[in-house]
Amino acid sequence: MLMRSEPFTEVNRIAQQLFGVPTTGTWSRPTAMPADAYRNGDEFVIAFDLPGVDADAIDIDVERNVLTVRAERRPIDLGEQATVQLSERPLGVFSRQLFLGDALDTDHIDAAYDNGVLVVRIPIAEKAKPRKIAVAGREHTEQKVITG
């Protein structure tokens, strides 16, 4: 259903997890966003963590079975007299590309954003759903010839 193929993004994500170094993503070098993916009945569900991101700062595209999610977390307005004492929350641009299999119906993708989690739902294509195949008996495949 889903094919992973972003080696550099994956390496950056693992380095962030290991070393805890917050990075600032840019449009040319976005930071990876964590995601979970699973099948739930007749749909494929992907959940992306985007805490602190406004819904209008999220962009979702699909082209040739490649789902691209981009988002931007902007800094909060601290005011003129504020002095930063601690800054660990990553800011900037986040992006994730997922290569979707042909078994998914990319024409009917649905997305919802709530409590910092973007949930993308993709229906399983009709051609990929399990179905019963009728078995014809031998008498239906041969014609009997009567001579007399």
For residue range 13-70, list pLDDT tens digits in order.
666 666 665 556 665 667 778 899 999 999 999 999 999 899 999 999 999 999 999 9
Q: How far apart are CA 103 and CA 101, in angstroms?
A: 5
- Where is average pLDDT lowest: 2-6, 11-15, 65-69, 70-74? 2-6
pLDDT computed for residue 17 by the predictor: 61
Q: What is the pTM of this model?
A: 0.69
Contact 67, 84 (CB under 8 A): no
Q: Is the pLDDT of residue 148 over 80?
A: no
Reported as half-sphere exposure (CB side, CA atoms, 13 A), residue 89 has a value of 12
8's enclosing H/E stretch is helix 7-19
The beta-strand segments (E) located in the chain are: 2-3, 35-40, 43-49, 58-63, 66-73, 92-100, 110-114, 117-123
Query: How many angstroms separate the Cα of 115 from the Cα of each of 50, 55, 59, 118?
Result: 9, 10, 17, 8
Residue 67, pLDDT score:
95
More confident residue, 146 or 35: 35
pLDDT of residue 138: 79
Q: What residues contact residue 78 under an 8 Å CB cut-off, 6+ apart? A: 84
Residue 86 pLDDT grade (very low, low, confident, very high; cuts 50, 70, 90)? confident
Q: What pLDDT sits at residue 39?
A: 92
With CA atoms as reference, report the closest residue to 51 among 117, 146, 142. 117
**Assigned token pair, 148:** 């007399």
Categorize the per-residue pLDDT at 99 as very low, low, confident or very high, splitting at 50, 70 and 90: very high
Residue 98 has a pLDDT of 93
Task: State the Cα–Cα distance between residues 93 and 110, nearest whole angstrom.
Answer: 22
Position 107 scores a pLDDT of 92
